[in-house]
Structure 1
Amino acid sequence: MRTVIRVLRKFRPVFQYRANFIYNGSAKRRDFWPDTNHRSIYSLSGSTYIHRCKHESYMIHRAISSDAAKVTNKELNRGGPLVEYERRVAAGELLDGDSCQLNTLGELQRLYDELVENAEDCRLDRYATSKKDGRSRWLWSRFIPQTSYAPVKGLYLYGGVGTGKTMLMDLFFYQLPCNWRKKRIHFHDFMLNVHSRLQKHRGVADPLEVVAGEISDESILLCLDEFMVTDVADALILNRMFRHLFRDGVILVSTSNRAPDKLYEGGLQRDLFLPFIDALQERCIVHQIGSSVDYRKMTSAEQGFYFVGKHLSSLLKQKFQQLNGEQIAVPQEVEVVMGRKLQVPAGANGCAYFPFEELCDRPLGAADYFGLFKKFHTLALDGVPIFGLSNRTAAYRFVTLVDVMYENRGRLLCTAEGTPVELFDRIVTIADAQQMAPRTSSRSRKSDDSDICVDNELGFAKDRTISRLTEMNSTEYLEQHAEIWAQKRLSDNE
């Protein structure tokens, strides 16, 4: 019976509609958010005055060596991320990037070309593929197991903070034909969606298989930004779910700060997660972006105000009231996934105010933060502390909050006890802790040990958070924020 079905499946494309791929070479991702007149705020030190800082120009920068990749005339006649990149450079929209970014663009272009060539076998065209309900697909698979690995391997990009991973993946994703079954989503948001679907399919024998079937029906090409695993429940879900997804033909393109074999390092029951790492390396080509340049720090012009000192709550509230204009900030309620609600102490005109403790010292997570930034574009956060062993959980939540805010191009105003670097100075990885020189005094060693938090996941995540906090105070980021929100308000009024 299975042999007959395999033969029939080979002839199925003959009877299906074959849509033409449309590519105009100009597709861009534009999310939208307001007002560059007000800049981000956070504290730099324990003194009581305000700094203004200037940084170098924030643009994609490149020094092409003689052996760097070049686009031929034949390549210019087709589409893809490398071709679009060269077009933007020629048009003056981007300055040339470094050789590491060019090598990564070469990998993305190769994947793009393979996908275009194998689009039919990969079942990428949404109009040429019949849409099946996830549950019925699951029931059908009970009788006739269906395994259809994609003929094209995905791509797993990893590298240090600020190397342009997200920009490069977006450049790839938004050059793909619009009729393809594709999805680009932040990893936090993806896992929230998975948990929501699992809740909906409670009672099914294998709800993860149903969820995987739904995801693969919607998106054969799945692009996940900032892949990271810190939770044991997520680790177990990923292992089982991606086994189904890969068998359903899903192609994964992902960015991460960590190499695959470093994911969930030191996590609980990691041995149960290891099969996922093997599957990931089997179904994806792993590519490291080796650039040592942090482009997010190459910002120009005047930075936002930095509030200095621990006791500047009144100054933050004053700035918050200025942003609200004539509107009066009042307590509000935000709906998040699965019926939960987040209480906002004060909000008006798209701006929300929170003491740090109420947003990061309570049992909140990515779902709550995504819900917050669906309604508000600016967050005034009062009293970010120095992180260490005593408030490690709050540090994890703050890292997640910054990730969600950055993904939504939200604006941050805050007071803190130190610079972004100082906030995380006591958070170290195991390797960092082993290299730390021992103290000569037992008293100082005891004091240091009580403050230092040795945590691999948080130790790796802190560099990303520091870099993002730096960029979020740049003129360019705030201009993007203003443009995105202005366009969003315009579309809401139409």
Structure 2
Amino acid sequence: MNAPPRHLTDVHPSVPPERLLADLVPPRHFADASFGSYRPDPAHPSQQATVDRLVEVAATLDAEQGGWRRRLGLASRTTPPAIYLDGGFGVGKTHLLTSLAHAVGTRSSSYGTFVEYTNLVGALGFARTVDALASKRLVCIDEFELDDPGDTVLMSRLLRELADRGVALAATSNTLPDSLGEGRFAAEDFLREIQALAARFEVLRVDGDDYRHRAAVTGAQGLEDREVAEVVDGRDGAALDDFDALLSHLSQVHPSRYGALLDGVDLLGLIGVHPVTEQSTALRLVVLVDRLYDRDVPVLLGGSGGTDLFTEEMLAGGYRKKYYRALSRLGSLAEDGRRLVSSPA
């Protein structure tokens, strides 16, 4: 007899610094990503141009692997590559970034989201973080977003020290480097730091449409709560949570632990889903959606589903690109979940 559905609200994960370092690899969703598996849209030539440039960067880093300058500790005398992929959500930027990490090698590269790196500094301290990341040839930063002045200064200093030690950098974002922080804090007060970040990167624009919208509608109606509970019931690796209870629980768990919160979860059912009106709550939900997407966890949405999940003010504000990314990813996961409704347990 199968155990009853678990609840994420019952999980209080503890994540040691060693795991934070070990987890800095491409997520499960992109475990097999490569330049060859990326399908550039002919209608948007910038996609193929970006692939070509990243292939060059990977080849350059590979050629340097056995170079005499690195063996003698002289890599800092040269300027390592620093690539910044800019474009809308759903154009394949993360696919390209993980492809670069795989091409360089997961032992020689570090891959994480912006928040994972800031969390790492909090857990290890700045000096230990620099030492750990400086052992890599490439540091990849997904979802580069500056949400507060402290993060601006922290990431500027971190990237400067890594570059000075010969580490190549690659990042993705929906915002050009010199516009980071715009609409979220008084960016003009930190213009020097932001410009210093921007000056380090070669910007590659990735144009295109959101590929996830080809298969999923992010504003789809929710399922009946009863139906969600019935599908989850009896499935190994499934979790069932009340939406409000989960949102409250997320406020008690550090975002760096949201991944660990999902350990062993292969399906998440949410009942009582409704629009979120408080911004800090919405931003925590965005992080959870990102971790669900990283792990390819299908989601069953009860209540109102994805309809008006975020307010019009949120979708027009400084964090709008985060919210639209979350809607895109949640729509894809919800489409995967709907396929399970008619599938046998």
State the TM bucket, normalised to the shorter chain: 0.7 to 0.9
Partner amino acid, structure 2, of 1:423: L
State how far apart, in whole Å, the 1-side matches of 2:69 and 2:83 are: 15
State how far apart, in whole Å, the 1-side matches of 2:339 and 2:150 are: 36
State how far apart, in whole Å, the 1-side matches of 2:158 and 2:238 are: 38
State how far apart, in whole Å, the 2-side matches of 1:316 and 1:213 are: 47
State how far apart, in whole Å, the 1-side matches of 2:77 and 2:212 are: 37
Match in the other structure for 1:395 = 282
| TM-score, L = length of structure 2 | 0.76
| Contact 2:91–2:210 (CA under 8 A) maintained in structure 1 | yes
Select the residue among 221, 241, 251 that pairs with 2:158: 241
Q: Deviations over 1:201-226 (max 9, x none)?
A: xxxxxxx2342122212x23101222
Aligned partner of residue 211 in structure 1, secondary structure:
helix
Select the residue among 127, 141, 163 that pairs with 1:209: 127
Q: What's the C-alpha RMSD, in Å, of the aligned pairs?
A: 3.5
Change (3 A) 1:95 1:279: closer
Superposition deviation, residue 386 in structure 1: 1.4
| Contact 2:147–2:185 (CA under 8 A) maintained in structure 1 | no
Q: Which runs of 5+ in 1 are unaligned?
A: 1-28, 34-59, 61-80, 89-93, 131-145, 199-207, 324-348, 433-454, 480-494
State how far apart, in whole Å, the 2-side matches of 1:236 and 1:213 are: 18
Count residues with an aligned counterpart. Answer: 307
Q: Deviations over 1:342-378 (max 9, x none)?
A: xxxxxxx322222222322342342231111223232
| Contact 1:122–1:151 (CA under 8 A) maintained in structure 2 | no
Aligned counterparts, 1:58-137, within 5 A: 85=36, 97-98=41-42, 99-119=45-65, 120=67, 123=70
Identical columns (%): 24
Aligned partner of residue 174 in structure 1, secondary structure:
helix
State how far apart, in whole Å, the 1-side matches of 2:232 and 2:166 are: 49
| TM-score, L = length of structure 1 | 0.55
Match in the other structure for 2:331 = 470
Superposition deviation, residue 157 in structure 1: 0.2
Aligned partner of residue 262 in structure 2, secondary structure:
helix
State how far apart, in whole Å, the 1-side matches of 2:173 and 2:210 are: 15
Aligned partner of residue 375 in structure 1, secondary structure:
coil
Q: Which runs of 5+ in 2 are unaligned?
A: 1-25, 341-345
State how far apart, in whole Å, the 2-side matches of 1:247 and 1:369 are: 32
State how far apart, in whole Å, the 1-side matches of 2:148 and 2:54 are: 30
Match in the other structure for 2:4 = none
State how far apart, in whole Å, the 1-side matches of 2:275 and 2:142 are: 28
Match in the other structure for 1:31 = 28
Match in the other structure for 2:7 = none
Change (3 A) 1:30 1:371: closer
State how far apart, in whole Å, the 2-side matches of 1:401 and 1:273 are: 29
Match in the other structure for 2:175 = 258
| Contact 1:118–1:151 (CA under 8 A) maintained in structure 2 | no
Match in the other structure for 1:318 = 230
State how far apart, in whole Å, the 1-side matches of 2:80 and 2:334 are: 40
Select the residue among 252, 269, 287 that pairs with 2:204: 287
Superposition deviation, residue 470 in structure 1: 1.9
Aligned counterparts, 1:401-480, within 5 A: 401-420=288-307, 422-428=308-314, 432=316, 455-457=317-319, 459-475=320-336
Superposition deviation, residue 281 in structure 1: 2.4
Q: Deviations over 1:425-452 (max 9, x none)?
A: 42346xx5xxxxxxxxxxxxxxxxxxxx
Partner amino acid, structure 1, of 2:289: V
State how far apart, in whole Å, the 2-side matches of 1:419 and 1:399 are: 13
State how far apart, in whole Å, the 2-side matches of 1:370 and 1:357 are: 19
Match in the other structure for 1:220 = 137
State how far apart, in whole Å, the 2-side matches of 1:238 and 1:150 are: 21
Aligned counterparts, 1:7-22, within 5 A: none
Q: Deviations over 1:381-425 (max 9, x none)?
A: 22222133xx222111111110111112222122242534x2224
Change (3 A) 1:353 1:192: farther
Superposition deviation, residue 165 in structure 1: 0.7
Q: Deviations over 1:56-105 (max 9, x none)?
A: xxxx9xxxxxxxxxxxxxxxxxxxx6xx52xx6xxxxx766332310111
| Contact 2:85–2:172 (CA under 8 A) maintained in structure 1 | yes
Aligned partner of residue 28 in structure 2, secondary structure:
coil
Select the residue among 219, 222, 247 that pairs with 1:307: 222
Aligned counterparts, 1:164-183, within 5 A: 164-177=92-105, 181-183=108-110
| Contact 1:360–1:398 (CA under 8 A) maintained in structure 2 | yes
State how far apart, in whole Å, the 2-side matches of 1:209 and 1:275 are: 23
